[in-house]
Amino acid sequence: MGKVALEGIEFHAYHGVFSEENKLGNRFTVDILVETDFREAMVTDQLKNTVDYGRLYKIAQGHMLVPVKLLEHLAHLMIADIREAYPASTVVEVKIKKHNPPLGGVVNYSVVTVRYPEDYQA
């Protein structure tokens, strides 16, 4: 088993509950972690035997283009697509930071972290 991650992916997007967030947008940072068995990739040097960073980026990018209200929902959507692309993954974690959330005071960012399978158990 091993871990593949993308950290600090930055986007300007329009997610949020408040109407000004949907109009003005905000800066977001996304971190993605995937745990999987990539021993075959270590030996074969073939991308098909591991998690493709480019594909992870495209999944995140695609979801950042479609506004949603809650970061929890956004992380869930990303995890669902990552799990579909990499069904052998044992853990998928998505962390989303919203920079300067409109809360009426100085806040660097709000953060939501969703982790499969822990956050998906009944």
| Alpha helices (runs of H) in 16-122, residue ranges in sequence order | 19-24, 39-44, 53-64, 71-85
**What is the per-residue pLDDT across 7-53, written as a single tens digit (0 to 9) for each?**
999 999 999 999 988 999 999 999 999 999 999 999 999 999 999 99
pLDDT of residue 11: 98
pLDDT band for position 122 (50/70/90)?
low
Q: Which of 108, 114, 52 is nearest to 78 (CA)?
A: 114
The domain that holds 55 is classified in CATH as 3.30.1130.10
Query: How many domains does the chain fold into?
Result: 1
Overall average pLDDT of the 92-119 stretch: 95
Catalytic residue among 3, 23, 58, 98: 98
What type of residue sits at position 66?
A: V
Taking residues 76-82, report their average pLDDT: 98
Sign, CA torsion 55/9/60/83: positive
Domain that holds residue 107: 2-120
Average pLDDT, the chain: 95
The verdict on whether 48 is a catalytic residue reads no
What residues does 96 pair with on adjacent strands? 30, 112
